[in-house]
Amino acid sequence: MTSVDNAFTISELDFGLDLLRHRSLTESFVISPLSVIFALTLLEAGSNGVTRTQLDNVLAKGAPISKISHHYSSLSKRIFNTKNGVQSTIANGFFANKNFPIINHYRDFIVSNYNATVESYDFSLADQTAELINDFVKKNTGGKISDMVNGFTVRKSTSFIINAIYFHGEWETKFSINNTIEGSFHKSRKTSKKVNYMKSSNAWRLYTEDKSVRVLSLLYKDTDYALNIFLPKKRFGLKSLRNKLNGTTILKLLSELKTTKIKITIPKMKIVTNFELKDALMSLGVTKMFSSEADLSGISGSPHLYVSKAKHTAIFELDEESTTSSTSTLLGISYKSLRKHRTFTANHPFLFVVTMLSHPLFMGQFT
């Protein structure tokens, strides 16, 4: 990983953690930091002035601003190049009212750099337009997400920037369905729920730990991809862990993973999240694009253009054979051996990150 790639990866992880901290500790949820980032890069490409500066500060925190488009253009292409039982797709879309003038340079830039689909529709036919946009999302999320917009939303808008990501990964080493058992998951000191636990005994998997967290990394058949589970050592230490973790710490932990003989117990999961992003983004300093002072003059000559809605939908499913994840946003590992036998029992709230070469495709918590 180059120093520039490393800086962007840390920025992406920090961004995802910032979004997570805007959600309750008591709910399971999932987001795709990269999906939100890709949507913001489409917006950044057409912004100017303070609006652009605010977006740059979020997209390239600690990384060179001049490299934003090159980095995310290259990253989107790498996500497509999967192999061995992993399917990963990413789609960017810009959908505008046919009466909305799109600057040709902007159209050409997002098509060539982000392989974006650019379409003009008759927004007065609001329900029909909503169906066309939802078809784009449905097609690019494996059919998992199909209702991003409706006629009412279309009638109140001039354009939509949409990013959709779909991921399906088969485990490098599958869990046996015969070992799956029901058990208690302890949400808090007073609350528990029944879940189905996947189990694997005496397995060789990637593992590390520090003073506060145990980290289990489960590889997919395409070993560039992994599910990384961050389990607090303190039974109900999710709040502390969520506040303590940052991108640099996560990368350090992932770099310290070692092949370890380990007994694994983790819950099967299905998480659906709908996230209105406006408040979270504004708290990170992205404010101008939501106001009448927005400068999106690189997209259109219209002086009245601003972002009215920022919506993110994500689905995450985990079972014995694979992980399936979908998301849509509107707008190496060292194989060292750790000989000590370990036990990893995820029966209390934890964080997880699905990574592609450490880039956070999905991030969430199970509670």
The string of pLDDT tens digits covering residues 123-168 is: 999 999 999 999 999 998 888 888 889 999 998 888 898 998 889 8
Q: Helices in the chain by DSSP H: which ranges? A: 3-20, 33-44, 49-59, 68-80, 104-114, 126-139, 151-155, 238-244, 247-255, 278-283
**Same domain assignment for residues 79 and 61:** yes
Residue 326 lies in a domain: no
324 within a domain of the structure (yes/no): no
pLDDT > 90: percent of the chain: 69
Q: Is residue 323 part of a domain?
A: no
Residue 49: which domain range? 3-169+271-318
Question: Does residue 61 sit in the same domain as residue 195?
Answer: no
Indicate if 261 and 149 belong to the same structural domain: no
Same-domain check for residues 106 and 40: yes
Is residue 220, in this structure, part of any structural domain at all? yes
241 domain-assigned: yes
- Average pLDDT in the 296-308 region? 84
Q: Which tens digit of pLDDT belongs to each residue from 182-231?
A: 999 999 999 999 999 999 988 899 999 999 999 999 999 999 999 999 99
Give the pairing type, strands 322-330 and 159-170: antiparallel
Q: What is the CA radius of gyration of the chain?
A: 21
What are the percentages of helix, strand and coil residues in the chain, rounded to 5? Answer: 30, 35, 30
pLDDT per position as a tens digit, 10-61? 999 999 999 999 999 999 999 999 999 999 999 999 999 999 999 999 999 8
pTM of the full predicted structure? 0.91
Contacts of 128 (CB under 8 A, 6+ apart): 121, 122
Task: Give the CA dihedral 15, 22, 41, 326, nearest 10 degrees.
Answer: 100
Per-residue exposure over 246-270, b if at least 16 CB sit within 10 Å of its own CB, e if not: ebebbbebbebbbbbbbebbbbebe
Q: What is the CATH number of the domain that holds 156?
A: 3.30.497.10
CA atoms within 13 A on the CB side of 150: 2
* Cβ-based neighbours of 97, under 8 Å, separated by 6 or more: 120, 121, 122, 123, 157, 158, 159
Instruction: Say whether both 259 and 113 belong to one domain.
Output: no
Q: What value, to the nearest 5°, has the Cα angle with vertex 298 and ends 292 and 299? A: 80
One domain for residues 196 and 58? no
CATH code: domain of residue 216: 2.30.39.10
Question: 16 CB contacts (<8 Å, ≥6 apart)?
Answer: 31, 33, 353, 360, 363
**185 and 298 within one domain:** no
Task: Give the confidence band of 340 by pLDDT, cuts at 50, 70, 90.
Answer: low
Residues sharing a CB contact under 8 Å with residue 33, sequence separation 6 or more, in sequence order: 12, 13, 15, 16, 19, 360, 361, 363
